[in-house]
Structure 1
Amino acid sequence: MTGPDAGAVGVTTAGGIAVVALDRAAKRNALSTHLESRLAEALRSPSVVDSRAVVITGGAAVFSAGADVTELREMTPAAIAAYYRASGAVYEAVANLPQPTVAAITGYCLGGGLELALACDLRVADERAEFGFPEIGLGILPGSGGIARVVRELGPARTRDLVLRGRRFGPAEAASWGLLTEVVPAGAHVDRARALAAELAAAPPQALAWTKQVIDAAAESSHRTALLLEQLAYAALNRT
């Protein structure tokens, strides 16, 4: 998609922190393949690569109302598979960044937008945020890590409640379940996310990168395997 509604992704840096901002206000930051590709380019930019921490935001009004499903509706299974290898891989690219990442959320954070937020390490939402997986009503399901991450974070029973019913939920519920790091007053989401990013950026970057990987692996491993990963990472970091 091109034209004035295609959207863009901006990157600003200060104090070692890169703020990556979705900018498709006319479509409530709907994540089209164009916007996903711009986000992937932003993540590969020197401003992000050289940063110590990353904030991802949709700006002052909305995080993202979800994936632009109109693009995917007519795709064949082969085309969908190709999509996940191309722009659809950006959600895992966020999750795999070596730097700590903080999602700054307000307004709609739905479907693909929620999947993008879940790919971040920490999530700050203001009191106006609204969450949900509406895909079931469209005859599809979250396909960019949403189910996998919610199951890991909240367990299968809560995941069934949220995904099968497609129900909306607010920041208070999300925080009570542990999906949010903090809830802040309206309009304070980006400033607070930057403050958390600055706190994280002060830590040694190699320790952050290794620890992120160990946490992710431990969530999917046996106790014995997780303990071994901790010990190997400790040994690798001990002389850094």
Structure 2
Amino acid sequence: MTAGDEPLVAVARHGAVAVVQLHREAKLNALSAELEGQLLDAVRGPEVTGSRAVLLTGGDRVFSSGADVTELAGRSPAEVFAYYRSTGHVYEEVAGLPQPSVSAINGYCLGGGLELALATDFRVAAADAVFGFPEVGLGIVPSSGGLHRLVRTVGVARARELVLARPRIGAPEADALGLLTEVCAPGVDPLVRALELAAALAALPPLAASLALQAIDAAGEASREAALLIERLCYATLAQQPPAS
């Protein structure tokens, strides 16, 4: 970011909740490397690391229209992998947040934008929000953890359908498929509802909330024996702690 430029990502605190907002409205919050870099800085910054819940939003017009794919056009495989090790790693940083995270979704949530939303723990959407993975039609594939998280969320068959045959769906159908936590009634601002949810999550004992999230994530790929061991280790750890620790 050059001197005098407006930041592409802003962070504000609402009590114990860190609200992270994308600010590239002129480009429908397309996820450029610069924006990703600023988002990475925000996620690692004190406002987020010191919070007890994180809310991610693109504002009242659009969540994100997707990755700025023109930036990777013509790059060598080595350059593409270097990108994933740098700013392209932000999606995994969001997914790895130790505290609960919520996306508030208005308008388009497409491609990399949907991958970013899937990296959060909860997704609250406006009634007229639009979701989809248009990448295959552009000759590429979702590649920021979206395929992995999509399959874990909706299953293999639905993932094939959404990635190959249904490039756009509305919020009610996305909700029915399990992509969303909640669809707001028409006229209800998802940011308001998401902030209520984030505040409730922030009020939970933080260590219990963090370990519960991590145990749930691990259970999806663990054997029965490993999942039970994780649960019991988490319980044993928490039983030694005061509830608010």
Output the TM-score relative to the length of structure 2.
Answer: 0.94
In structure 1, what is the Cα distance between the partners aligned to 2:75 and 2:190?
Answer: 36
Query: What are the superposed Cα offsets for residues 56-105 of structure 1, whole Å, 9 maximum, x if unpaired?
Result: 00001000000000001111100111111000000000010111000000
Q: 2:220 matched to 1:219? A: yes
Q: What's the secondary structure of 2:141's corresponding residue? A: coil
3-state SS of 1:11 partner: strand
* 1:1-240 aligned within 5 A: 8-184=8-184, 185-186=186-187, 188-240=189-241
Distance 1:217 1:209 in 2: 12
Find the aligned partners of 2:132 and 2:6 in 1 and give their Cα distance: 24
Deviations 1:27-50 (A, max 9, x none): 000000000000000111111111
User: RMSD over aligned Cα, in angstroms?
Assistant: 1.6
What is the one-letter code of the residue matched to 2:69? V
**2:169 aligns to what SS in structure 1?**
coil
Q: Is the 8 A contact 1:60 1:187 kept in 2?
A: no
Q: Would the aligned equivalents of 1:5 and 1:26 in 2 still touch at CA under 8 Å?
A: no
Letter in 2 for 1:236: T
Residues 111-120 or 164-173, more deviating: 164-173
Q: Point out the more displaced range, 118-127 or 5-14.
A: 5-14
Amino acid at match of 2:157: A
> Is the contact between residue 22 and residue 57 of structure 1 (CA under 8 Å) also seen in structure 2?
yes
Distance 2:100 2:38 in 1: 20
Identical residues among aligned pairs (%): 57
1:165 CA drift (Å): 2.0
In 1, the alpha carbon distance for the partners of 2:53 and 2:31 equals: 23
Report deviation, 1:227. Answer: 0.9
Q: CA–CA distance in 2 between the matches of 1:178 and 1:2?
A: 41
Q: Which runs of 5+ in 2 are unaligned?
A: none
Whichever residue aligns with residue 236 of structure 2, its letter is: A
Q: Which amino acid aligns with 1:31?
A: L
Over 3 Å counting, the alpha-carbon distance change for 1:6 and 1:31 in structure 2 is farther
Does structure 2 retain, via aligned residues, the 8 Å contact 1:137–1:166? no
- Stretches of structure 1 that go unaligned for 5 or more consecutive residues are none
Q: TM-score scaled to structure 1, two decimals?
A: 0.96
Give the AA of the match of 1:237. Answer: L
Q: CA deviation at 1:2?
A: 6.0
Deviations 1:106-163 (A, max 9, x none): 1000000000000000000001210000000110000001110111111110000011
Bigger mean CA offset, 71-80 vs 165-174:
165-174
SS at match of 2:191: helix
Taking a change above 3 Å as real, the CA distance of residues 168 and 49 of structure 1, as seen in their structure-2 partners, is same
Count of residue correspondences:
240
The answer on whether the counterparts of 1:88 and 1:144 sit within 8 Å (CA) in structure 2 is yes
Q: Partners in 1 of 2:93 and 2:46 — Cα distance?
A: 15
100-109 or 181-190: bigger deviation = 181-190
